Every structure is written in C-alpha cells, then in structure tokens.
C-alpha cells in the first residue's frame, strides 16, 4: 500500500508533541501506550532460595562462591528485604537444584525472553559454571533484565541455570541526597524475579517515537525537519490507533506500516551541520567513592560483562575502558570475563584507553608518582593487550597540573581528554579542541567533549547541547560524545545504541558515528593548525577544598601519601646503589623489585581522584590510611634489608669495631643540617645535644650527595643557636635568623642576616642594620585563623570564595584561651632551641605548637598538634611578608608555578585557593620569604600575605572527616636573592625527608654519583623495570633556566648510558666520558631520564 504522511488536523504543536510523549512514557497510560506493551507475557518465579554468611558485613572477597560448596539455602519470597549495607546475598530457585533454574514456556517459541530482576540494588548474574554473565541494577530501568534468548527455540531446551549475587548497595552507595554518609543499616527489597517476553516491535516504535519527539522538542522550530518529525510521530500513532480497531492480523499490518514510516523518516540524509559526533561508549567507574574499593571490583565485573553482551548484539558498538588497576582486578577475580575482554579488544571494540594505573588526582601526586601511573599502566596494557594507549584519559578530576603535558610527552602520550573544566564556577573555559602547552613548553592535543559530560545517553538533547556548547566551530569537524551510565557503573545500554542507529545522519543535527578514540585523534591531528593554544595549568574553579580535606584520627591522607612517595623512592635509591656496586644477586633483586611494584600500586590506587582528595566515604578513607601504613611498613623493612646487604658486602674500616651512626642521603646535593639520632649515645663523638629522658640527641651532620655513609664524629655548626626572653617575648637566634615570638605564639619579627654590608636596607628604612626584616611592621606572622566553611553543595570538595569574609584570628588575644608560651626543656642549644605554646580553637578543639630553630638553619619551624573536633570550619595560618609581590610562586611537579596575588580579573579572582606542594614563596628583587610544609597543598596569596590551609571539617560524604588528632610541620624561610639562589627548593626536599639513622659497628661509605649543577635535581634513582643489570636516573631542571654541560658522574662499571622515556624505552645513546660521566643540557623545567647499564 502507498504510504503518505498525513499532517495533524489541528495546528497545536504542544498537544501533538505531548501526545507522542504520552505514547512512550514510563509513568502514565501504560495500559494503552507502547511502554506498557513491552512485556505482555510474564511468568513469575515463585520458589526462591537464599544464602548469605552469618557475618553479614563480611567482605565479599572472603565469602566462598556457592558453586564451590553445598550452601545451606533457605526459602524467601518476593517482598523480602536484605541487608545491611555492603553485605552480600546469593540466590537460587528450586531447593533441589544447586543454581537458579528457570523454565521457558514452550508456547514462547520464537520470542525474545528476558529474565527480569529488581532487588533495589546492584547484582551480578552468573552461569551455572560460575562465569559472570551480566550486571543488573535498579538504578536504571533498562539494566533490570538479562536476555536469555533472542529467539527461543524449545528444541534447545527450556531450562536455564544461573546464580545471582546481590550486593546491598545502589549504584551510588547508600547515602542520602547523593553525597551523604551511607546508611550502614539500610536494607534492600527483592521486588521482581520473573520471565518476560519482550516485544521488539513495540520497542522499535518506542525508539522511533522518542527520537521524533525529541527532535520536535529540542531542535529549531524554524527547521522544516523539526515539524516533519512531529508529524511523522503523530501519523504513526494514528496508524496504531486505527489498527487497534481491527483484527489481530490487521493490527500487525498497521504496525508494519508504522514501522515502515519510521524507517523512511530515519533514512533521510543530512545536508549536515558539518559536524560529526564520534560516539564512544564508556563507563566511568570511580575506583572508590561512595563505596569501598572492594565494591568497585564487582562494579567492573557488572559493567563490563554487560558491555560484552551488547557487543554480541551490536557489531558497531565500541567501548573505551580506562584504569589498568580495574582491568587487573577483573583479571584476578573474574578470569573468564577478562578472556572475553581480550577477545573483543583484539577486534578493536573493547578499547583500553588512558595509559594510567588509575584516573588519579590531577594536582596532588608528585611528578614521579605521575610517571609511575603511566609506567605501570602502559606496561599492563602492552603485556595484556599488545599495545600502548596514545591518550591520557582523565574525564573527572579536580584540576590539572601545568606539568602534565611534559609528563605525557615523556611517557609517549600525544593526546589528552577530560570534561571536568566545564564545571568551572566563574569562567567558562574557551575551548573544546586546543593545543595545551605545559610548564616547559611541551604540547599535547587536548579535547573536552562539548556536551560537557561523560554520561551522555545518545539523545537528541545531547547532540543539541554538543553543538550549542561547541566553542571551536569552524576550527574542527568532529567531537567526542562519551555515552554510558557512569560513576556508579553500568555503561551503555541497548536503548542508547538503538538511538545511535537512528541519529546517524538526521538533518539539522551532527552526524553520529560510533567509533574508536584513534579515529577522533587522527582527525584532530589533521586540524591542529586551526586550533588555539592554552598555556599553563588547567585550574578548575571548583573543588579546591580537596587540597586540604584529609581524614580523621591521625590519618592525614595527603601527608601519608607524600611520605609513601618519598619512602618508595628512598628504597629504590638503595637498590640502585646495590646494582651500581654489583652487590646484590639477581634473585634477591627481582624479589625486592616485585615488592616495590606492589607498594607503588597501593600508593597509586590511593591517588585516585576521590581517595587522595578526601572526598570519599569514611570506609574508603580508613582503608586508604591502612594501605598507606602497609606501604610504610614495607619500605621500612626493605630499607633495613638493603642496608644489611650494604653493610655485609661494603667497605668498612679495617679492624674498626667502634659504633657509628649510619645516614642515607638520596638527594643529589650536600646536606648540612641538624638531625635527631637514637641509640647508644655514650659512643657518640663530637658536639651533641642530648634530649632529656631519652636515648636520643641532636647532632650536626654533613652528608655527601647520593650517599650511604656512617658518621662516628659529629661536626659543629658555624655558631650555636640561642634563646632568650626579653620584654615579654622570646628571642631565637642562629647564624642566619633572629626571631621574636610574642605571648600568643606569633612572630612579631623575623630577620635574616645580610650577606654583606652592601645589601639593601632592612625593609624598614634602617640601612645600617645587619638584619633584613621579613615581617611587616604592625603585622604578625604565624597568625592562625578560623574560617566558616560552608560550601554550596559539594561539602568535602569545595571551599567557596565567601569563606574569606568570615576570618577570625585566633592567637592574638581575640578571645581565644591561650597557654603561656614556655621554653622547651632540653632545647636550649647549642643545636636546637624551642618554644611551646597552646590554645583552644573554636568550640571543641585544642592546638599545641612547638616553634624551633636549629643551628645554621635558614628557616624557623613550627611543629603543630591539633585535636580537631570542629564542624564546617577551616583552619589556616597566615604569613604577612615584607615584600611587594604581584605573583606568588608555588612548588608543583618537576618545577614551580607563579599565580597572581590580586583579583584584577575574574580569572585571577577565581584562584582564591590554589594547589602547591612542598613550598610557596613571595619575593621582590633581591629578597623574599618562603613557607615550607610536610603534607599540605592548599594555599592563598592575597597582597603580601601568604596563607597555608591546615584543616577542614566537612560532614559529607564522611561525617568524621578530619576529626581527631593531627600533627604537621611548616616553616618560614626568609632569604636574600632569588629563591633559587637561596636554596628553597633543596631545603623543601630536606624538610620532607625522614632523616632517621641507625647504629652500626665500624664504618661504611657508598655513593651513587654527582650532579654538577645546583639547578638540576636528581629526582629518582630506581632499578630498571626489565633486567637486573640496569637502572634509571630521572633528573629535571628546577630553576626555570637553560643550562648547558651539566655533568652527571656515575660510579661502578658503567657499560652504557642512554636517554630514555618515562617508560624506560631507550631513545639515544650518550657518550660516556673517561671519568665515568655524561653531559646533559636542559631547557627550563625539562625532564631527562637516563637508562644506565652496568658492565
């Protein structure tokens, strides 16, 4: 019969549009609409049996799988509830059978049969052999069924056998208002277990009508195609309505006609918006967030098994999967699923992306940790899938370091994708496709999907948004559209893929092409000449509270993270020394390297962008603290083992049995400082300062670069440090500094000695003084302040700009209860002096601080303990500085970054809380003041005041975030000249070192080598990943300068040295000079890695 489109009789577009919407709605008129026809035949499952362990909150990892033993099943019924939160429950049908057994009625021959399950939670369906088949979830309607048969054939048998594992949590955990702390006693009701016949014709018409409706709703009313879509949808409904008045055969004819009209509509070719949306399926799974890590493992299995089932049905479906850690979990716990993943990866349809171990935080990890993410991630992808990723895939994190482009190039990555910058609170980022230039000038091609999400559903609305938000129109012809349910897992659905088929080339919309990331990147590379450039960091104008949010009960995640990063590198230095000296056998080295890799994997997992920032539930934070502590225990044991090898096989004084103290200096410069030692002190020679009531003492040492050396006689500083009390304040003085501390623990003066009489005046107009004042007259440094900290929504994530308006100074007689400052017993010189003071903070908290000055030290240190029990308060320390400074400088990965101290523009004003690592500094020509810290990352610089954020107290998603006892250190460092000349970079490394020592008998001295230039830092010395006769050295230029002919001297029998990538792939052999050294040149902030082979 001839098909002719008939327009509606009336001209009311709203009623026509809403008529289509009501025909497909899930909420109304289900007795007559298409949604109500999806399942017309059902067969309930009436006999259910259940088992769960007696210890309900036991981790699923410890629960035996029911197919491995004879479980004590008990009967249950639909409507029963199960819990509590995080518990696991197993189900089956028919008490006499070991699995869920369902029988398909014979009369359902030729039908598509679904097993439908709704437990109000997440679940995973297994075969009778224990193979994971598909995830199930109540969060989304189209994830509540499993396709048992696309075309039921009774001759193949009626019975299907399954296990169902129910997890007592939703896709987003178990908290209220999404980010609330979880309800630990929540239960989940079993609502549905039944077989249903799925009506594919009704479903197809639903999808047709949905797209037509959305074209009418979201596309331009001036486009004739928009009207055509509405008219076509209306005509299809008229056909269906006519069919209902006739016989069953006639109805089928009208349905066929309706389907044909739909096919004709979607066959129309687009004259084109000229843009293509490359649809890439994905399933962003947070490695932990509102659920613990162990639940993420199951989320991966649920989500990826679902994607595998869709790949079997849709040949053009492509799924991108990041995070090597998650793939390794699946390999370990679901090997059969991993083999399916391998199969589809070989076909190019299951595509590993990102190259990293996890999607880490983009600000806080060290530069070396960033490289390890890619080193371990890319090695996993290469080993398991035969290729390396070409892009860095980080759709969700809280800002992006200015050094990321160079790090990516150093590990062989060319491209970068994220979407989080669309969350900016103040300024809209101006590009979606651009060239990102990093701190050193390295560039990568970057893309932000214009629909501003990674959870598109392939709807018309998504495509309209994509074109509306596309900021580079005319510069590029394609964009990525990331689709699939994410965060809590799930991924793409059949509905999304059906939409994609219909949206391939509709007029007025961008073309939709399901594709692989490689296709997009190759196209973007061709258009690179058209793209704009963004230089420097990608600062996210939101979530800047994550620089500070930590954890409760002495579990400061960020400080533990920094300690673990450093301790792993320290052990690697010792192993490198053993390799260079040929003092370790292959088997021992292989074992120790394997243990180190395990330690790095734990740290890298904890650097996931909701763990390290402190934005997860309490369970995640507690487990992260335990993991960090395991790493510190591991590195402590490995360090002792390595030192034992050095002691047994290394040089020692002949016949020397006297006690000496062993120090390790993994830094590439001479270190002279006061250290704290323990042991049998009567054997110690030289100047010492004993600590009362202990077997510990302060000593002054000089340690060679990159060395392990024993000291049996300690040195004397250039001058002793002194302490006195005059006029109500304490005066602390050494050869470099003179500090005055008032009765409130504030610095009323901090002077640094001039290097020569010709130096500039002291900052207060007194050119004759030998001291330069760092604290402005009438202001106070070490000023602790309390702020109200109530964000708009994202509690653990956000600090809002208006918090600065709620400043309350604490130590200064402003109503705070103060303890009288006093000199610390046993700390009166000649090596260390200290003053201690205390005060009440807020309503419930207490602070105790020890201010100390060591002999010859260039900085004054504050060791602070806070018993913190506030609610929505933030604690900061302020340092007014006697400088005129328009930009403050902050330590970041492999370099430093300058940011404004003013709010001239909206971009400047948005940076009221920024991320820095070990130090921050404000200076003018010839003079400046820095602040060091041992685990803080949040900073503010306004005018001449540099503030360090110390503690927060959010209540969601962890109600106990930051509660408990905290200990942290910071220091103020005034200096002449530039901060580079003053050595603030080197001192910040020393400030973060664990200068522990051990007692040995005899003497010992080993060194790995030397670096000739003070601005070039040897960041890492590590065993090579492959082989036992090679190691890797990683250096970077730290001053921001071009340097030539930097000599790196090596020890031992060196066979060859080559420049290599961060993945330890050799790039170019270097000339080895006769004195066992090589020469390098650096551009500002450049990273070089060296691959050294021992003969």
pLDDT digits (tens, 9 = 90+) for 57-97: 889 999 999 988 888 999 999 999 999 999 999 998 654 45
Considering only residues 217 and 102, tell me which one the structure prediction assigns the higher pLDDT: 217
DSSP 776: P
Read off the pLDDT band of 654 (50, 70, 90).
very low
Q: Are strands 276-282 and 319-321 parallel, antiparallel or unpaired?
A: parallel
Cβ(327)–Cβ(384) under 8 Å? yes
CATH topology of domain 783-990: Beta-galactosidase; Chain A, domain 5 (2.70.98)
Looking at residues 307-328, what average pLDDT do you find? Answer: 97
Q: What is the pLDDT of residue 240?
A: 86
Q: What are phi and psi of 312, to 5 degrees?
A: -65, -25
- Strands 276-282 and 511-514 come out as parallel
Q: How far is it, in rounded angstroms, from Cα 68 to Cα 298? A: 19
H-type helices in 534-585, by residue range?
557-580
Winning range, highest mean pLDDT, from 42-51, 756-765, 1029-1038: 1029-1038
pLDDT tens column, 355-381: 999 999 999 999 999 999 999 999 999
- Residue 877 scores a pLDDT above 70: yes
Q: What is the tens place of the pLDDT at every residue in 672-687?
A: 999 999 876 656 677 8
Higher pLDDT, 487 or 505: 505
Q: Any idea which fold 277-542 has?
A: 7-stranded beta/alpha barrel (3.20.110)
| Residue-wise pLDDT tens digits, 290-301 | 999 999 999 999
What is the arithmetic mean of pLDDT over 919-936? 98
Q: Where are the domains of the chain?
A: 13-33+202-266, 37-198, 277-542, 659-719, 783-990, 1008-1095
- Which pairs from 627-631 meet CB under 8 Å and 24+ separation? 627/602, 628/557, 628/560, 628/561, 628/563, 628/564, 628/602, 628/603, 629/560, 630/602, 631/564, 631/567, 631/568, 631/599, 631/602, 631/603
CATH 3.30.9.30 for domain 37-198: no
What is the enclosing helix (H) or strand (E) of 513? Answer: strand 511-514
What pLDDT is attached to residue 350? 98
How far is it, in rounded angstroms, from Cα 288 to Cα 608?
A: 8
Where helices occur in 194-334 by DSSP H, the ranges are 200-218, 224-243, 248-266, 293-313, 324-333
User: Strand ranges (DSSP E) for 107-191?
Assistant: 112-118, 122-127, 132-137, 145-149, 159-167, 188-189
Share of residues in the chain with pLDDT > 90 (%)? 79
887-892 and 722-726 as β-strands: parallel, antiparallel, unpaired? unpaired
Q: Which pLDDT band holds residue 947 (cuts at 50, 70, 90)?
A: very high
CA distance 417 to 106: 51
What pLDDT shows up at residue 177? 80
Mean pLDDT value across the chain:
92
Per residue in 176-195, is it b (16+ CB within 10 Å) or e — as a string?
eeebbbbeeebebebebbbb
Q: Supply the pLDDT for residue 93.
A: 65
| Digit-coded pLDDT (tens) for 549-576 | 986 655 589 999 999 999 999 999 999 9
Helices 200-218/224-243 angle, 10° precision: 150
> What is the band of 56 on the pLDDT scale with cuts at 50, 70, 90?
confident
Compute the average pLDDT of residues 217-232. 92
- Mean pLDDT lowest among 410-424, 645-659, 970-984, 1046-1060: 645-659
- Is 396 part of the annotated catalytic residue set? yes
Residue-wise pLDDT for 139-178, tens only, equals 888 899 999 999 988 877 767 788 999 999 999 999 888 8
pLDDT of residue 272: 57
DSSP bridge pairs for 417: 393, 447
Please report the pLDDT score of residue 195 as a whole number: 93
Strand, coil or helix: 115:
strand
Nearest to 747 by CA among 636, 878, 848: 878
What span, in angstroms and rounded, lies between the C-alpha atoms of 876 and 786?
A: 7
Q: Kindly tell me if the per-residue pLDDT of 238 is higher than 70.
A: yes
CATH 2.60.40.1360 fits domain 1008-1095? yes
Determine which one of 171, 361, 396, 958 is catalytic.
Answer: 396
């Amino acid at each position: 019969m001839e098909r002719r489109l008939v327009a509606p009789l009336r001209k009311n577009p709203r009623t026509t549009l809403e008529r289509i919407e009501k025909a497909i709605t899930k909420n109304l008129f289900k007795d007559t609409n298409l949604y109500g026809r999806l399942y017309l035949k059902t067969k309930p499952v009436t006999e259910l049996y259940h088992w769960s362990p007696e210890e309900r909150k036991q981790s699923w990892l410890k629960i035996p799988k029911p197919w491995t033993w004879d479980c004590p099943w008990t009967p249950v019924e639909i409507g029963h509830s199960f819990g509590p939160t995080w518990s696991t429950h197993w189900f089956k049908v028919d008490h006499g059978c070991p699995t869920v057994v369902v029988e398909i009625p014979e009369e359902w021959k030729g039908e598509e049969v679904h097993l439908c399950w709704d437990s109000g939670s997440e679940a995973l369906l297994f075969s009778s052999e224990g193979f994971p088949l598909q995830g199930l979830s109540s969060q989304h309607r189209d994830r509540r069924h499993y396709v048992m048969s696309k075309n039921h054939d009774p001759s193949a048998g009626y019975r299907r056998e399954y296990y169902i594992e129910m997890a007592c949590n939703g896709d987003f955990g178990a908290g209220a208002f999404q980010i609330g702390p979880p309800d630990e006693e929540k239960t989940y009701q079993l609502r549905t277990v039944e077989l249903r016949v799925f009506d594919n014709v009704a479903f197809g018409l639903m999808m047709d009508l949905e797209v037509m409706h959305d074209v009418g709703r979201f596309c331009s009313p001036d486009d004739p195609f928009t009207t055509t879509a509405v008219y076509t949808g209306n005509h299809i409904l008229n056909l269906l309505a006519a069919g209902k008045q006739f016989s069953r055969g006639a109805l089928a004819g009208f349905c066929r006609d309706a389907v044909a009209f739909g096919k004709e509509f979607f066959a129309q070719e687009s004259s084109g918006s000229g843009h293509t949306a490359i649809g890439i399926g994905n399933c962003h799974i947070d490695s932990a967030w509102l659920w613990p890590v162990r639940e993420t493992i199951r989320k991966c299995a649920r989500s990826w098994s679902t994607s595998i089932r869709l790949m079997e049905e849709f040949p053009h479906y492509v799924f991108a999967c990041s995070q090597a850690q998650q793939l390794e979990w699946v390999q370990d716990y679901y090997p059969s699923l991993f083999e399916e993943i391998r199969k589809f990866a070989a076909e190019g349809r299951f595509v590993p992306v990102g190259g990293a171990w996890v999607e880490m935080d983009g600000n806080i990890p060290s530069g070396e940790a960033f490289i390890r993410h890619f080193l371990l991630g890319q090695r996993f992808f290469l080993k398991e899938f035969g290729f390396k990723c070409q892009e860095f895939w980080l759709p969700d994190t809280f800002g992006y370091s200015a050094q990321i482009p160079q790090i990516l190039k150093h590990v062989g990555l060319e491209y970068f994708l994220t979407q989080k910058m669309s969350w900016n609170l103040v300024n809209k980022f101006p590009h979606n496709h651009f060239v990102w230039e990093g701190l050193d000038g390295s560039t990568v091609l970057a893309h932000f999907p214009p629909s501003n999400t990674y959870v598109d559903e392939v709807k018309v609305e998504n495509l309209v948004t994509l074109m509306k938000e596309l900021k580079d129109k005319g510069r590029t012809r394609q964009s990525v559209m990331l689709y699939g349910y994410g965060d809590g897992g799930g991924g793409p659905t059949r509905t999304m893929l059906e939409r994609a088929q219909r949206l391939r080339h509709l007029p007025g919309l961008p073309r939709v092409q399901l594709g692989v990331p490689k296709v997009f990147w190759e196209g973007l590379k061709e258009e690179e000449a058209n793209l704009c450039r963004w230089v420097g960091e990608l600062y996210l104008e939101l979530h800047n509270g994550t620089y500070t949010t930590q954890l409760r009960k002495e579990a400061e995640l960020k400080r533990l993270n920094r300690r673990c990063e450093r301790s792993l590198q320290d052990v690697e230095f010792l192993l490198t020394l053993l390799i260079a000296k040929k003092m370790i056998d292959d088997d021992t080295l292989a074992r120790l390297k394997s243990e180190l890799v395990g330690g790095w994997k734990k740290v890298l997992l904890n650097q996931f962008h909701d763990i390290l920032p402190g934005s997860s539930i309490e369970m995640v934070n507690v487990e992260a603290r335990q993991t960090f502590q395991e790493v510190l225990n591991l590195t402590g044991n490995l360090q002792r083992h390595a030192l034992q090898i050095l002691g047994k096989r290394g040089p020692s004084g002949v016949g020397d049995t006297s006690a000496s103290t062993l120090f390790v200096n993994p830094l590439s410069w001479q270190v002279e400082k006061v250290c704290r030692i323990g042991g049998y002190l009567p054997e110690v020679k030289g100047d010492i300062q004993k600590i009362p009531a202990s077997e510990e003492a302060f000593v002054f040492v000089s340690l060679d670069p990159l060395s392990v050396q024993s000291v049996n006689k300690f040195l004397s500083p250039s001058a002793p440090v002194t302490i006195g009390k005059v006029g109500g304040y304490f005066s602390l003085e050494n050869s470099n500094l003179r500090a005055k501390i008032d009765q409130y623990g504030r610095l009323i003066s901090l002077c640094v000695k001039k290097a020569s009489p010709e130096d500039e005046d002291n900052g207060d107009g007194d050119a004759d003084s030998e001291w330069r004042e760092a604290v402005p007259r009438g202001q106070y440094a070490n000023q602790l302040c309390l702020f109200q900290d109530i964000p708009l929504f994202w509690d653990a994530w956000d600090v809002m700009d208006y918090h600065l308006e709620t400043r309350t100074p604490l130590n200064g007689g402003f109503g705070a209860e103060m303890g009288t400052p006093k000199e610390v017993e046993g700390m009166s010189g000649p090596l260390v002096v200290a003053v201690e003071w205390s005060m009440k903070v807020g309503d419930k908290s207490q602070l105790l601080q020890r201010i100390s000055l060591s002999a010859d030290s260039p900085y004054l240190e504050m060791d602070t303990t806070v018993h913190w029990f506030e609610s929505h308060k933030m604690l900061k320390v302020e340092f007014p500085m006697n400088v005129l400074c328009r930009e403050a400088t902050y330590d970041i990965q492999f370099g430093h970054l300058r940011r404004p101290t003013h709010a001239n523009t909206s971009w400047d004003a948005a940076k009221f809380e920024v991320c820095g690592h070990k130090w921050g500094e404000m200076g003018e020509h010839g003079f400046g003041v820095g602040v060091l810290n041992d685990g803080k990352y949040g900073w503010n610089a306004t005018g001449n005041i540099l503030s360090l954020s110390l503690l927060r107290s959010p209540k969601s998603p962890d109600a106990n975030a930051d509660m408990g006892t905290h200990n942290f250190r910071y220091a103020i460092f005034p200096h002449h000249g530039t901060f580079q000349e003053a050595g603030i970079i080197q001192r910040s490394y020393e400030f973060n070192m664990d200068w522990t020592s051990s007692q040995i008998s005899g003497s010992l001295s080993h060194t790995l080598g030397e670096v000739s230039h003070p601005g070039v830092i040897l960041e890492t010395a590590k065993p090579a990943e492959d082989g036992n006769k090679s190691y890797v050295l990683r250096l970077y230029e730290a001053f921001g300068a071009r340097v030539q002919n930097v000599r790196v001297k090596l020890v031992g029998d060196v066979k060859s040295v080559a420049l290599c990538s961060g993945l330890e792939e050799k790039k170019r052999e270097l000339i080895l000079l006769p004195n066992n050294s090589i020469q390098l040149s650096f551009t500002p902030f450049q990273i070089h890695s060296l691959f050294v082979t021992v003969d």
